[in-house]
Amino acid sequence: MAVRLQRTAGATVKEVLFEEDSLQRLRVESDASEGLAVNYPPLTGNASVGDRILLNTTAVELSLGTGGVHFVIANLTRQPQPVERSGHIMKLRYTPHQTNVLTVEEEDHPDHHLISDFETLEGKPVLLGMLHSMIGPAIAGVRSFGEQAADPPVRIAYIMTDSAALPLAFSDLVRTFRSAGLLDITITCGQAFGGDRETVNLYTALAAASDCDALIVAPGPGHVGTGTRYGFSGIEMGNLIDIVSDMDGEPVLIPRVSYADPRDRHRGLSHHTITLLTEVCHCSATVVIPLLPGDQAEDLGHRLREYGIDREHEVVVEDGQPALAYLQDRDIEVKSMGRTPDKDPAFFLAAGAAGRYVGELMGS
């Protein structure tokens, strides 16, 4: 069945709900309905109350969850002000919104030395998460141990891949952790854009993050899963295990674990994790398993043995609870698939445990 792409002209900005340099959240009204829209000023200019705008309404039409809002295509009332932006690398290439950025690979970039002088990751641990929602508890896990043991303070970098959302500004999670001072550097690679540092690919993204102590790689919001064996965006983490190994780092995989997900393929150890660990990667990874209640721990151990993951990879058991306590102490709320840690503890404990493991490595 064909899906019609609807673009609705004639919408009006009724209210600016949130505003920063790279993103606005708007309440808009069209001829048919009222709703929410996202505007990216670097691409389409600022929008003000009363402006007439052109919207892409596809996400709302398809009743999507993540990203289920309208997106501003153009402001029909005012022309965007010229943006002075250096750099010769285009992102969103060959689309109407293609934009030039200064990447770390370019000699004019102030951090170019991170690329030109790079040799290896020198054993640095790299956390790999197949879902964007994993980065919050993973950061908390690192901080829950690293802040006690490290002097000077631990520096954490988040590398956002281009397998899901492309604008980093869309992530409320990143905004929260940056505002709290828990995330130091953001790097966007490939077609993703908006990070503190822009890079062309995953290799140079890792090199550009090599001045930080802990590296976390994950897609932006909007993971795609199709219910098929290979049809999910997080499959890239299998390739990343090999890339990190090739660059002499330690790949630390955050397994996707849940006992709250209603889908059988994601209950316990998700088929996504099994596929990338048994079929996609060719190098060994450290797979951190959280402490869980007896029946869940038994089930998880059985799955690891059943698929030979415990033989092909280094399986480490770690307590993820300090990460969740760290978030609770700072009143930071995290969710995944609409579920909070009290609704799906295993998922968040797995990400927190992986972060805690990395924090302990740095403190040892």
CATH class of 7-75: mainly beta
Token duo for residue 111? 């951090």
Token duo for residue 105? 């690979």
In whole angstroms, give the CA distance from residue 39 to residue 162. Answer: 19
In whole angstroms, give the CA distance from residue 337 to residue 344. Answer: 10
pLDDT digit string (tens) for 317-353? 999 999 999 999 999 999 998 899 999 999 999 999 9
β-bridge partners, 106? none
* Domain boundaries of the chain, sorted by first residue: 7-75, 119-363
pLDDT digit string (tens) for 9-43? 579 999 999 999 999 999 999 877 789 999 999 99
State the pLDDT at residue 79.
82
Residues of the chain above pLDDT 70, percent:
94
pLDDT digit string (tens) for 183-242? 999 999 999 999 999 999 999 999 999 999 999 999 999 888 888 888 999 999 999 999
Report helix, strand or coil for 177: helix
CATH class of 119-363: alpha beta
pTM of the predicted protein model: 0.94
Alpha-carbon separation of residue 187 from 31, 167, 179, 203, 324 (angstroms)? 40, 11, 16, 12, 25
Could you count the other beta carbons within 10 Å of the beta carbon of residue 4? 6
pLDDT digit string (tens) for 65-93? 667 899 999 999 988 777 677 899 999 99
Residues of the chain above pLDDT 90, percent:
80
Alpha-carbon separation of residue 106 from 101, 157, 198 (angstroms)? 10, 20, 10
104: left (phi over 0), alpha (psi -120 to 50) or beta: alpha
In whole angstroms, give the CA distance from residue 36 to residue 177. Answer: 24
End-to-end CA distance of the chain: 57
Q: What is the mean pLDDT of residues 102-126?
A: 97
Alpha-carbon separation of residue 244 from 189, 205, 206, 328, 348 (angstroms)? 15, 11, 8, 32, 24
State the pLDDT at residue 126.
98
State the pLDDT at residue 261.
85
Residue 246 has pLDDT above 50, yes or no: yes
Residue 265 has pLDDT above 90, yes or no: no
State the pLDDT at residue 1.
45
Q: What is the average pLDDT value for the chain, to the nearest integer? A: 92
